Structure 1
Amino acid sequence: KRHATHLTARDLAKACLWLSRETELTTDRFLDYLTGNGLTSNIQLSGVRQVSLADLAGMDDLITALETQVVLPLENDTLATEYGLRPKRGVLLLGPPGTGKTTIGRALAHRLKSRFFRIDGTFIPGTPSFYWKIENVFEQARHNAPAVVFIDDCDAMFQAGQELGLYRYLLTMLDGLESEGCRDVCVIFTAMELADLPPALLRSGRIELWLETRVPDAAARGRILQRLLSGVPADLENIDVNALIAATDGFTGADLDPVVSDGKKYFVADKLRGNPLRSVTEYFLEAAHEVRQNKSRYAAAKAAANDRSH
């Protein structure tokens, strides 16, 4: 019931016919059917990496705010009706790349299932279907309300002021969510650069909740590394996590992922080639050094690009 609140009698009849042909039925399979027929979320959960808000280390305040201001009114229909609870109309997740904004979207997708709709890089500005696809997402969200529309990397869409049409369209959509029939739709924007967002989009009343994702501190990096290293084979268990924490100062959660995955590759490569094995920790420190080198190259390339644009 909670995953498809507006199914018509005809929709239900088609769903029952589909159900009768299924030999193995799960909630996710049924949601895939609803999605494929435009009756629920526009994403296939089977293609979204499994993650939960609890996996986001060092973001306790941010998670509490999302749970209270967005998830609670969407998940608890009875309490929402009794107390008149509504999700925030506009939410901005602002932070450097790799600090968990897209991961938050994945976690919300799995948490909210049919009530989550995403607009991302697959929506290409300037293509003939661009505005139709965006309008379709908002229409489906309204049809399945209460719901979330998650617009990932929206600053990239607005960069250099190239998408004035989208900017005006989103302002119209946000202002339209004030109407009684649309007030249960929450729009979450993610962005890296505040300067690339139109000022009118940020005015009070449109963005009602500002949340910042940050580079994890040492304690948060330790929790992330422990999670990434859980379940490693026995010959990798003696990793000095404290040494890794010290070597990854300034790393984001996205940076720590290749530290662990590449460290395992370096170890296995030596093992297969019959090379003398170093201490396990050295392989992961090597991976951390390579990630830091890549971060430096990216920063230099970005600075050069900014200089050319000016």
Structure 2
Amino acid sequence: MAHKLFNKEISGPFTIPSGIVTTEVSTLEKIANSVPEVGILTTKSIGPSPRTGNREPIIAQVSPLSFINAVGLTNPGAEEFRKKLSKIKIPKERFLLVSIFGSNEKEFREVAEKLIEFSDGFELNISCPHSERYGQIVGKDYNLTEKIIRSVANLGKPVFVKLSPNLDVKETVKRALRGKAAGITAINTRGPEPYLFDGHPVLSNKVGGISGRAILELGIKRVKEIREITNLPIIACGGISNSLDVRRYKKAGADFFGIGSALAGMTTEEIKLYFHQLLEDLKRGTNEAERFLKNQP
């Protein structure tokens, strides 16, 4: 089965969304060289300067295959991340999608300029729901969103815009098209929402974003809405855990598929076997990859 993203032949239709599993460059390299089904390698979100993020606890399971998190955009900063990227080897049939964030146009562009040498494209995080200055706060300003997209796109690498399911998706896509985005990633987590135990917040941040099975239907709905107004490539994420979910997203209009929460608890070897089986399931019409899932009901 051939897969192509823009003018690049890639090894598989899957990615692991930003901030899950491939949070370290060493892990990104390991996945790149051992899991060919993951044809798009998405980095964690990188900002203009280092951030320690929120203190623990930053994640909790809310239901089977569903989580709430408020990591806080932990990252080493663009300069340090550039050094790390320069030292790894990625197979040529992988698409390295570097996720970036900032609070304004200047910061987004500065980060992109520092990382452009080692990227095949950028994913703009304007949708993280639990940060005070970044993510969804930026995405709410549609004029600013359009300026950011255009500014980064003008650097010459393809730009994916990662959408929040909590904002006006059609307006964001309209601004993405005006800004010359090359693709859409949908969706980021739902929220921010509280998660209480015995009346007390579980997360140190008190609120977080919901991911996994709990947002599957919302994700499919948003992808349908996006496909109605654009033919740009869509990377679908949100609740995918088996071949049935992939087929539903594909029917909704998605081209590529991000799987994150479903990988919780798996070793690297299990992740390798899971993605191999998932692609086989899609070819054969089976649903065997579910046996690798750790958090089923």
Is the strand fraction higher in 1 or 2?
2
**Under a length normalisation based on structure 2, what TM-score does the superposition of the two structures give?**
0.31
**Under a length normalisation based on structure 1, what TM-score does the superposition of the two structures give?**
0.30
Larger radius of gyration: 1
Is the helix fraction higher in 1 or 2?
1
